[in-house]
Structure 1
Amino acid sequence: MLTSISISQIFVPDQDAALAFYVDQLGFAVQADVQFGPMRFLTVALPTDPGHAVLLEKPGPPGHSEETAAQVRELVAKGAAGGHLFLTTDDAHRTHAELAARGVELPEAPTVQPYGIDFGFRDPFGNHLRVAQTTPPPSA
């Protein structure tokens, strides 16, 4: 029986820039940074959720030819590559202010939704991120 998700993946064309963004600006911690032949296996996780890492994968060998990698980079930059991270917080307004103070571009203010308060933004490469302060559904 499956019990958990241990690693999710998003494409990033520059792993060093991704590392700076996800660690320095968003507060993730490096879990693994290993060179495997042509591939750098780079994962980060939130310190509060070390069981679920995010692989910051550079498109290229061994998974992609250079032609395909170029297409993937183009799609990521357009926000069309399917890279999404959904994050939670206890206080959307405070988190929004903290991220803004760290230099994260935040085009949306926290907004009340039926499920809580959330806001969205993109990483420097085009991947979508949403942060939600969820509220329990009303009792039936």
Structure 2
Amino acid sequence: MITTGSMQLWVHDQDEALRFYTEKLGMEIRADVTMPEMGDFRWLTVGWPTQQDFTLVLMAIPGEPVMDAATAEDVRTLMAKGFTGTLFLTTDDCHRSYKELLARGVEFTEEPEERPYGIDSGLRDPSGNSIRLTQVREDFG
């Protein structure tokens, strides 16, 4: 059996991303390990308290030899535009979750709106990653 265990997002600043995903979105730290033998590489993961089988890896954009400078700059440019992928979050009440996250200081790019698949809203993390918060219709997919 194959399942999804983790997903990775590029982040500009791991500490800033950690604060956003824990303090504002409500995730918890799963791992925060720095490995000196790998050039102080930091493995930082978070996840939902109610979803133990999934982690989100908050990955710093690496330098040489993993990623050349031009590629790192390309990643930063795509992140700034919100085009490095999208994290899709679901909720049972989009309007309520929207209000709760606003109260925690989350800035939304789109307020909740009715869509064919449910109620959907948009936000971005401090690195520019696109996040959708959606209340999916029960009869959809």
TM-score normalised according to structure 2 size: 0.88
Written as runs of structure 1 = structure 2, the 5 A alignment for 1:16-35 is 16-35=15-34
User: What code does the residue aligned with 1:23 have?
Assistant: T
Written as runs of structure 1 = structure 2, the 5 A alignment for 1:3-14 is 4-14=3-13
Query: Runs of 4+ in structure 1 displaced over 6 angstroms?
Result: none
TM-score normalised according to structure 1 size: 0.89
Partner SS state of residue 30, structure 1: strand
Identity %: 46
Q: Give me the whole-angstrom Cα distance separating, in 2, the residues matched to 1:16 and 1:83.
A: 21
Q: Give me the whole-angstrom Cα distance separating, in 1, the residues matched to 2:71 and 2:60.
A: 12
Which consecutive residues of structure 1, in runs of 5 or more, have no partner in the other structure?
Answer: none
Name the structure 2 match of 1:68.
Answer: 71
CA RMSD of aligned residues (A): 1.5
Name the structure 1 match of 2:81.
Answer: 78
Contact 1:60-1:66 at 8 Å conserved across structures: no
Aligned positions, number: 136
More strand by share: 2
Q: Give me the whole-angstrom Cα distance separating, in 2, the residues matched to 1:115 and 1:48.
A: 24
Q: Give me the whole-angstrom Cα distance separating, in 2, the residues matched to 1:16 and 1:23.
A: 11
Partner SS state of residue 108, structure 1: strand
Which consecutive residues of structure 2, in runs of 5 or more, have no partner in the other structure?
Answer: none
